[in-house]
Amino acid sequence: MEAETVSGIKSENTRNTFHTFGASEGLLCLNSEQTRTQCEDYKVMFTCTGQFCSECRTRWFDHDDPTGNGDYEVLSDLLSIYPREICPRPIAIEVQTISGEPSSNTSDTFLNYDVTFGFACINEKQKSKQCEDYQVVLTCPSDFCQGCRTRWFDLDNPTGKGDYETLLQLQMLYPSQVCTQPVAIEAMTLSGVPAHKTGDVFQVYDATHGFACVNDEQPGGKRCQDYKVRFTCPLTFCTA
**Structural domain containing residue 161:** 146-238
User: Is 20 found in the same domain as 97?
Assistant: no
User: Is 129 found in the same domain as 63?
Assistant: yes
User: Is 161 found in the same domain as 234?
Assistant: yes
User: Is 63 found in the same domain as 11?
Assistant: no
Our count of domains for the chain comes to 3
Q: How confident is the model at residue 143 (pLDDT cuts 50, 70, 90)?
A: confident
User: Is 233 found in the same domain as 223?
Assistant: yes
- pLDDT at position 39: 96
- pLDDT at position 81: 87
Residue 240 has pLDDT above 70, yes or no: no
Name the domain boundary from 115, 144, 173: 144
Q: How confident is the model at residue 83 (pLDDT cuts 50, 70, 90)?
A: confident
Residue 239 has pLDDT above 80, yes or no: no
- pLDDT at position 31: 96
Q: How confident is the model at residue 36 (pLDDT cuts 50, 70, 90)?
A: confident
Q: How confident is the model at residue 236 (pLDDT cuts 50, 70, 90)?
A: confident
Name the domain boundary from 100, 124, 144: 144
Judged by average pLDDT, the poorest of 138-147, 163-172, 197-206 is 138-147
Residue 231 has pLDDT above 80, yes or no: yes
How does the average pLDDT of the chain come out, rounded? 91
Output DSSP code: residue 81.
Answer: H
Contacts with 155 (C-beta within 8 Å, 6 or more apart), sequence order: 164, 165, 166, 169, 170, 173
- pLDDT at position 50: 67
Mean of pLDDT values over 179-199: 91
Residue 220 has pLDDT above 90, yes or no: no
What's the rounded Cα separation, in Å, for the pair 171 and 221?
A: 32
User: Is 58 found in the same domain as 11?
Assistant: no
User: Is 175 found in the same domain as 232?
Assistant: yes
Contacts with 55 (C-beta within 8 Å, 6 or more apart), sequence order: 142, 145
- pLDDT at position 196: 86
pLDDT tens-digit readout, 44-68: 999 887 667 777 889 899 999 998 8
User: Is 137 found in the same domain as 212?
Assistant: no
- How much is the pTM? 0.64
What's the rounded Cα separation, in Å, for the pair 176 and 163?
A: 23
